[in-house]
């Protein structure tokens, strides 16, 4: 059986990172159906309430219990309203590597929440779980996501040509990484 991340809640100054729940369904559906989210992520289109129910109550938890990663609901520390998600996927326990990804709800953009949450999850994986490398990929034209990666401390390594798929077709991806030496 593959190792798994423990069920975890992380807190920072303004956000809490916790498991998704049924209370997040409406906000998940609204955020994932948002045109800007849809532009950069290959989520189902249209993103329905059924998709959100499945993600919040089954799929996001299955990633952790199967040892493939962990997804956190990014929520406001005061109100607990969903602001987005930050997670690890494609986790390789042998090499202690994983890929970090995120999206931010329209009502939470441009406030630094994604960078703050990305730093928290990255430090947790690298320091508490001994991971050796985290990767983050963003479409080259997704300027906001690329800025978030840099603000979170990731270093840009280069461009992966024609490596991503979005609803509009194939895109080049900027590859970022973070290692324990970067902390």
What pLDDT band is residue 2 in, cutting at 50, 70 and 90?
A: confident
Residues 157-173 have a mean pLDDT of 97
- pLDDT confidence tier of residue 181, bands split at 50, 70 and 90: very high
Domain annotation covers residue 70? yes
Residue 1 has pLDDT above 90, yes or no: no
Give how far Cα 48 sits from Cα of 30, 45, 141, 157, 169, Å: 9, 8, 26, 36, 22
Kindly state whether residue 92 falls inside one of the protein's structural domains: yes
The answer to the question of residue 5 being in a domain is no
* Residue 178 in domain: no
Whole-angstrom distance, CA of residue 67 vs CA of residue 103 = 22
- Answer yes or no: are the C-beta atoms of 172 and 156 closer than 8 Å: no
**31: domain range?**
10-134
Mean pLDDT, the chain, rounded, equals 97
- Average pLDDT of 107-113? 97
Residue 79 lies in a domain: yes
Is the pLDDT at 100 greater than 80? The verdict is yes
Sheet holding 169-178, edge to edge: 10-11, 15-18, 70-76, 82-92, 97-104, 133-139, 169-178, 155-166
Percent of the chain with pLDDT over 90: 98
CATH code (residue 63): 3.40.630.30
- Is 147 inside a domain boundary? no
pTM over 0.85: yes
| pLDDT confidence bin for 81, thresholds 50/70/90 | very high
| CA angle centred on 75, ends 83 and 46, rounded to 5° | 40
Question: Count of domains in the chain?
Answer: 1
Is 148 within the bounds of a domain?
no
**Residue 163: inside a domain, yes or no?**
no
């Amino acid at each position: 059986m593959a190792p798994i991340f423990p069920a975890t809640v992380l807190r920072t100054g303004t956000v809490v990172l916790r498991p998704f729940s049924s209370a997040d369904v409406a906000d998940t559906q609204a955020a994932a159906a948002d045109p800007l989210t849809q532009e950069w992520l290959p989520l189902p289109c249209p993103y329905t309430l059924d998709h959100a129910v499945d993600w919040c109550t089954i799929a996001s938890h299955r990633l952790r219990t199967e040892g493939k990663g962990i997804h956190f609901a990014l929520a406001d520390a005061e109100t607990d309203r969903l602001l987005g998600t930050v997670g690890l996927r494609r986790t390789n326990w042998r090499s202690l590597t994983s890929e970090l990804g995120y999206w931010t709800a329209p009502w939470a953009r441009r406030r630094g929440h994604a960078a703050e949450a990305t730093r928290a999850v990255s430090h947790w994986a690298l320091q508490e779980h001994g991971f050796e490398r985290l990767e983050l990929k963003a479409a080259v034209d997704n300027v906001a996501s690329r800025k978030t990666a840099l603000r979170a401390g990731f270093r840009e390594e280069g461009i992966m040509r024609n490596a991503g798929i979005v609803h509009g077709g194939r895109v080049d991806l900027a590859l970022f990484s973070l290692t324990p030496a970067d902390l």
